[in-house]
Each structure stands twice: as C-alpha cells, then as structure tokens.
Amino acid sequence: WALEEVFSDANASYLRAARAGHLEKALDYIKNGVDINICNQNGLNALHLASKEGHVEVVSELLQREANVDAATKKGNTALHIASLAGQAEVVKVLVTNGANVNAQSQNGFTPLYMAAQENHLEVVKFLLDNGASQSLATEDGFTPLAVALQQGHDQVVSLLLENDTKGKVRLPALHIAARKDDTKAAALLLQNDNNADVESKSGFTPLHIAAHYGNINVATLLLNRAAAVDFTARNDITPLHVASKRGNANMVKLLLDRGAKIDAKTRVRVKLNSGIIELTLHYLIRNHYQYA
C-alpha cells in the first residue's frame, strides 16, 4: 500500500511538473520509472498538459522519448486538439511535425481545425489547413469548422477557410447559418465566388427559406438580389412565402410578394400552426398578413 502511494504521488508530481513546464523535474520522474504516458482521472497525460500550457520544450522532449502523440483523453481529445483549442501555435507545429493526426475526431466529432476555428486562432487554422486538415469533417451536430467560425463571427478565419475550400464542399451549411444570423457580410463573402444562392440543406431548404423563417430581411434581400429563386420549392412544395406566412412575418411576406412570389402556391402538407393543425391555404394567410404590411 505504501509503495502504491509513493508511485501515485510520483505520478501526480510528474504531471504537475509537465503542466508547469519544469522540464528537468519531469525528466527525473521518467528516469525514476514513472510511465511517460501516465494519465490523471480525466485521461490527461503529461503531453496533454504541457501542450495546453504551451511548453514547447517539454512537448518536444516527451515526443523524443516516444510519448504517444495521439493519446486521447476520456473525451477523445488528443494533444493536438488541446493545443489547437488553446491557440498554442508552436506546440501545434511540433505535434504535427512529430506525426500527430490532424484529422483526429473527439467523441463529439470535434477536429483540431474545428477547435481552432471556434476559438479564432488564425495562425493555427492556417497551419492545420497547410498540413492536410479536412474542412468537411463535421461534429455530431453537423457543424463544420466554417459553420462554427461563421456562428462565432470570426471573419478572418471564415475568409481563410473559404480561400482553402477549393471544391466548394463546405459552403452549404455556412450560407444557411449566415441566413439564420442575418449576417449579410458573411453571406456576401460566401456568394462572392459562388453564384448559386439556392444551395439546399439536407432537408431541402435554401438559405432564403431560412431567412424567411427567422424574418431576416437583410439577408433575404441580398439573396434575392443575387438571383435566389423566390418560389424555390423544398420538400412538400414549401416555398419561402409559405414559411414567412406560417411565421406571420408581414415584412418578409411583403418583400417576397414584391419580388414576385406566387400568392396562390399550394403546399401538399398540413402545417402545424400554433397548437392546431390546419390545411394551409395561402390565400387566407397571405391576405391576413399582407394587408398590414
């Protein structure tokens, strides 16, 4: 029992030394038999702790002594995740140079690139992109690095990600998020090199549907000015006008009608309105709201 306690104390002291950047102390513990990859109760090892704090020298020495570069915490985060989240650019470079998996995903699907984008760490984002990080890997909630950067309003990261998005694969959710936030700056940026304002989400809705749902006039106007189809029909023939009407948004209804939306468009579904389910006939709804516009 006493021996176990000594080892336990040594393990804890080793981890503390790594976290504090005390290289010689950490190395002494390793020389005296402490496992280089030993973890605390959260699965954090010396490499994780040193990476978070930006102790480049400690990280380098641990890797030279064959610390597991891709060891994961209980949440599935590697040292590269942790360094990327903390914005420790020099540590990120050392880890990647030593073979860290740039596209490792945590339990929730987070990648190092996602974490750096979320926290607005521009230098880390650039380095990861230059070293093969994928933008198309999404979290379990379906968020890509571009989507989270847009949501957080990190304009420089958004621009950098778009510049590196050569195949145009990640624009789809991003434009929908810009529409949801009524972020005309981001939407204009997204549409700059891509004339298709009618990209569909997995559910078949366009950014204009999303803008109509949230009553976001500014982005809706931008999308329409960029030739978004005013009567684009999603699943069950739902148009942006149906969506705006269902929400009772008079200004959005007026905008769509002014831009030529068909007032007599019919959906094939019964739409839940307030607590009751009624057959949606647009004549009634539009007249009801349009007279106040």
Do 158 and 189 belong together in one domain?
no
Q: Quick one: 190 and 280 in the same domain?
A: yes
- Cβ neighbours for 253, distance < 8 A, ≥ 6 positions apart: 241, 244, 245, 286, 289, 290, 293
Same-domain pairing of 120 and 176 = no
Q: How far apart are CA 177 and CA 86, in angstroms?
A: 25
Both 197 and 254 in one domain: the answer is yes
User: Domain containing 90 — which CATH number?
Assistant: 1.25.40.20
- The structural domain count of the chain equals 3
Residue (of 134, 182, 187) closest to 158 by Cα position: 187
In this structure, what token pair is assigned to residue 90?
Answer: 């020099």
pTM equals 0.67
Q: Which domain holds residue 177?
A: 170-293
pLDDT of residue 5 exceeding 60, the answer is no
The rounded percent of the chain whose pLDDT value lies above 90 is 47
Quick one: 137 and 247 in the same domain? no
243 with 202, same domain? yes
Could you tell me the pLDDT band of residue 277, with boundaries at 50, 70 and 90? very low
* Cα separation of the two ends of the chain: 79
Per-residue pLDDT at 50 exceeds 90: yes
pLDDT at position 248 is 80
Rounded mean pLDDT, 2-26: 83
Task: Strands of the chain (E only): list them.
Answer: 270-273, 276-279
- Shared domain for 153 and 183, answered yes or no, is no
Is residue 164's pLDDT more than 50?
yes
Residue 154: predicted pLDDT: 85
Examine the domain organization and report whether 127 and 227 are in the same domain: no
Write down the pLDDT at residue 178: 86
123 and 32, same structural domain? no
DSSP output for 123-172 = HHHHHHHHTT--SS---TTS--HHHHHHHHT-HHHHHHHHHT-TT-TTHH
Q: How many residues does the chain have?
A: 293
Q: Checking phi first, is residue 48 left (phi over 0); if not, alpha (psi -120 to 50) or beta?
A: alpha
Coil, strand or helix at 50: helix
Q: Distances from the Cα of 43 to the Cαs of 77, 82, 94, 182, in angstroms? A: 9, 13, 21, 41
Contacts 24+ apart (CB under 8 A), 234-237: 234/200, 234/203, 234/204, 234/205, 234/206, 234/209, 235/203, 235/204, 236/267, 236/268, 236/269, 237/265, 237/266, 237/267, 237/268
Structure confidence at residue 172 (pLDDT): 57
Pairing of strands 270-273, 276-279: antiparallel
Confidence of residue 29 (pLDDT cuts 50, 70, 90): very high
Phi first, then psi: give them for residue 183, nearest 5 degrees. Answer: -95, 90
Q: Give per-residue pLDDT as tens, 77-89.
A: 999 999 999 999 9
pLDDT tens figures, 196-253:
777 766 556 788 888 888 889 999 999 999 888 888 877 667 788 888 887 788 898 8
For the cut 70, the answer to whether the pLDDT of residue 275 exceeds it is: no
Judgement on whether residues 6 and 59 belong to the same structural domain of the protein: yes
